[in-house]
């Protein structure tokens, strides 16, 4: 037994053929992962239980309350105690949280924000390896429908969660993270309410281990690895600050403290462990990858609608094989094949791009692109413009957000 979950059960849930071998090399980490397969998010799950109990708040009232938690928590003790407890916990950072370090991580992340945003597709493909990701989508009938909307929604969340200042309690990234957390709890509730979901065979839907690896491996370690492949250099201080930011994002998302990385080295250890598992992706993974390559991107040049659609139709046959080939650089060859990806010479486009990125880095280091703060602001504005995010919107700034001091980038400047 590994904690309360046997190795056989853990291997069945994850599809990992060598669970015992990896557990022998990393006993403490893998034991925590095994236990997390059958754990949900008690605080968020309690809110959804309260929602469907006939009392408390309706869903649209919960969503509205998230936008201004400071004004709502005082009135929720009788009407919605579970939601009040959820907000109070999420609004009380843990002792380890250092807001200045998290903001430094956001500044470092956004110096290369447009490239980091482009790694979202690789993060999603990374997640498709795991049956814990694909099965809930299959069970809710969302394997092939709404792919573009799902990509855009995820991109908006990553942007808000990493923008300097917007993961402050009450600000837009914090609010959006809590909203997604409650949507995950809603999915768990619906799947458990149906008779077809088997926790022992498939794990709790969107369980703690899935959430841990999504945050630490998919959205932190993998983008940093891709950045290094492109020739981007982060200092050690940058790496620790970025890790701290994502640790905070994971905590707000409801990942248990014991599963979150305490340092960059710890994050890389979790990444290595995830890479050592010999996974057998479900057939649904191939369907999801195909949908992502068919409908997960748009060629957006900022042209008028019909003209931009025409450009997209023209370049799509070129972009699809390029995205597919490049994605194989960062996925194990056997897993890539199982998901319908095939490596072609096109993956060397990264090697061709590396000198360009390094030249940009040299120009940046010489100060010719402006200050670090100016570069980050420029990158943030470019990405938010593409995503249709208005950083001047009071709801995005947040009810409890305060103006930045001179050492902090102001996302609404």
pLDDT tens digit sequence for 123-178: 888 888 888 778 887 777 676 777 888 888 999 999 999 999 999 999 999 999 99
Q: pLDDT digit string (tens) for 20-36? A: 999 999 999 999 999 99
∠ Cα 109 111 116 (to 5°): 55
Better pLDDT: 176 or 413: 176
Is the predicted pLDDT of residue 302 greater than 80, yes or no? no
Exposure pattern of 52-77 as b/e (b: 16+ CB <10 Å)? Answer: eeeebbeeeebeebbbbbeebbeebe
Better pLDDT: 18 or 137: 18
Could you tell me the pLDDT band of residue 411, with boundaries at 50, 70 and 90? very low
Q: pLDDT digit string (tens) for 367-397? A: 888 888 888 889 999 889 888 888 887 777 6
Residue 5, beta-bridge partner list: 2
What is the SS3 assignment for 58? coil
Mean per-residue pLDDT over the chain, rounded: 85
* Ramachandran assignment for 254, one of left (phi > 0), alpha (psi -120 to 50 degrees), beta (any other): left
272/217 Cα distance (integer angstroms): 9
Mean pLDDT, range 91-114, rounded to an integer: 94
Q: For tokens 């409801």, what's the residue?
A: 254
* Residue 159 to residues 343, 347, 380, 398, Cα–Cα distance (Å): 29, 26, 8, 15
28/109 Cα distance (integer angstroms): 30
Mean pLDDT is highest, among 7-11, 17-21, 97-101, 355-359, for 97-101
Exposure pattern of 180-217 as b/e (b: 16+ CB <10 Å)? Answer: bbbbbbbbbbbbeeeeebebeebbbbbbbbbbbbbbbb
Q: Where are the domains of the chain?
A: 7-36, 98-397
The pTM of this model reads 0.89
pLDDT of the residue at 282 = 82
219/147 Cα distance (integer angstroms): 19
What is the SS3 assignment for 357? helix
404/107 Cα distance (integer angstroms): 13
Is the predicted pLDDT of residue 343 greater than 50, yes or no? yes
* Residue 308 to residues 102, 382, 388, Cα–Cα distance (Å): 37, 18, 16
pLDDT of the residue at 80 = 87
Closest Cα partner for 87 from 57, 110, 117, 129?
57
> Terminal CA-to-CA distance of the chain, rounded, Å?
55
Burial of 322 (0-12, 13-18, 19+ CB in 10 A): middle
Is the predicted pLDDT of residue 400 greater than 60, yes or no? no
Could you tell me the pLDDT band of residue 399, with boundaries at 50, 70 and 90? very low
215/206 Cα distance (integer angstroms): 12
278/16 Cα distance (integer angstroms): 5
**Who contacts 159 (Cβ-Cβ below 8 Å, separation ≥6)?**
117, 380, 383, 384, 387, 389
């Amino acid at each position: 037994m590994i904690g309360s979950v046997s190795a056989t059960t853990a291997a069945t849930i994850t599809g990992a053929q060598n669970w015992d071998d990896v557990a022998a090399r990393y006993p403490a980490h893998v034991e925590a992962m095994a236990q997390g397969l059958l754990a949900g998010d008690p605080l968020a799950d309690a809110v959804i239980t309260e929602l469907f109990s006939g009392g408390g708040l309706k869903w649209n009232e919960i969503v509205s309350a998230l936008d201004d938690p400071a004004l709502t928590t005082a009135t929720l003790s009788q009407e919605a105690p579970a939601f009040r407890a959820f907000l109070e916990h999420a609004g009380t950072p843990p002792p380890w949280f250092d807001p200045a370090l998290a903001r430094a991580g956001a500044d470092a992340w956004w110096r290369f924000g447009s490239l980091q945003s482009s790694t979202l597709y690789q993060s999603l493909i990374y997640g498709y390896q795991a049956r814990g990701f694909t099965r809930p989508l299959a069970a809710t009938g969302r394997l092939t429908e709404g792919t573009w909307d799902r990509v855009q929604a995820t991109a908006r969340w990553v942007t808000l969660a990493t923008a300097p200042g917007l993961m402050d309690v009450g600000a837009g990234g914090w609010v959006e993270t809590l909203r997604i957390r409650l949507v995950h709890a809603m999915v768990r509730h619906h799947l458990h309410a149906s008779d077809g979901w088997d926790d022992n065979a498939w794990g709790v839907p969107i369980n703690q281990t899935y959430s841990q690896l999504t945050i630490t491996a998919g959205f932190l370690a993998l983008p940093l690895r891709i950045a290094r492949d492109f020739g981007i250099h982060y200092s050690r201080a940058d790496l620790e600050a970025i890790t701290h930011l994502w640790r905070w994002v994971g905590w707000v998302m409801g990942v248990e403290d014991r599963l979150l990385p305490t340092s960059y080295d710890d994050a890389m250890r979790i990444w290595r462990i995830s890479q050592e598992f010999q996974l057998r992706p479900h057939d649904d993974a191939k369907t999801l990858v195909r949908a992502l390559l068919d409908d997960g991107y748009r060629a957006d040049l900022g042209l008028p609608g019909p003209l931009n659609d025409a450009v997209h139709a023209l370049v799509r046959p070129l972009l699809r094989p390029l995205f597919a080939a490049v994605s194989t650089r960062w996925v194990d060859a056997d897993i890539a094949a199982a998901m319908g990806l095939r490596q072609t010479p096109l993956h060397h486009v990264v090697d061709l791009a590396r000198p360009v990125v390094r030249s940009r880095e040299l120009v940046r280091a010489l100060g010719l692109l402006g200050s670090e703060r100016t570069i980050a602001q420029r990158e943030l504005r470019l990405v938010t413009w593409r995503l249709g995010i208005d950083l001047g919107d009071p709801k995005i700034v947040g009810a409890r957000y305060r103006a930045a001091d001179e050492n902090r980038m102001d996302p609404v400047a």
